[in-house]
Structure 1
Amino acid sequence: MIGVLVTFTQTDKFDRSTLTKIADELRGPFDGMPGLRFKSFMLDEGGGQAKNFYVWDDEEKGRSFFAEELVDKVTGIYGVRPTIEYLDVVGFVDNSGA
């Protein structure tokens, strides 16, 4: 399992309503996506960063998803190029079914 943290940093604050709209509009393609365990759209408290966190069942699918074409697309959506961190998931708790 692999976690991927995608961080968008800008000098101005991200607007919560704009990020909520982005999350609502982009959610559909991720529902039921093969290999994707979950994805979250997040805004830091200070507003200077938007972060998306993914957990993939398969490392190859997780890494290949973030091809240059996708990075270019999300750069256009968020207005800044993201940094992408790949993280080894060594433990996982999922209480969504509880």
Structure 2
Amino acid sequence: MIGVLVTFTQTEKFDRSALAKVAGELRGPFEGMAGLRFKSFMLGEDGIQARNFYVWDDEDKARAFFTEELVGKVTGVYGVPPKIEYLDIMEFVDNSGA
């Protein structure tokens, strides 16, 4: 498994309601996406960082998803280019079925 943390940092605070609307609109294409286990849309406590966290089955699928075209699209949505970090998930606890 691999995690991907995508961070968008602005100098001004993000509009929380606008980000919530974006998350609601963009949720659909991720539901049932092959290779994607989880995705979350998040806003940092300071309000200047929006983050998306993905958990993928394998690194190839994760890296294939984050194309230059996709980066361009999300830059348009969030108004700033993302920082993309790939993280090796060594262990994962899933309590959602408990």
Same fold (TM > 0.5): yes
Distance 2:67 2:12 in 1: 27
Q: Which runs of 5+ in 1 are unaligned?
A: none
Distance 1:38 1:72 in 2: 22
* 1:14-51 superposed Cα distances (whole Å, 9 cap, x missing partner): 11101100100000000000000100000001100000
Between the aligned residues of both structures, percent identity stands at 78
Distance 1:18 1:43 in 2: 11
Distance 2:79 2:18 in 1: 12
Output the TM-score relative to the length of structure 1.
Answer: 0.98
Shift >2 Å, 4+ stretches = none
Equivalent residue, structure 1, for 2:34: 34
Number of residue pairs aligned between Structure 1 and Structure 2: 98
Q: Which runs of 5+ in 2 are unaligned?
A: none
Output the TM-score relative to the length of structure 2.
Answer: 0.98
State the SS of the aligned residue for 1:28. Answer: helix
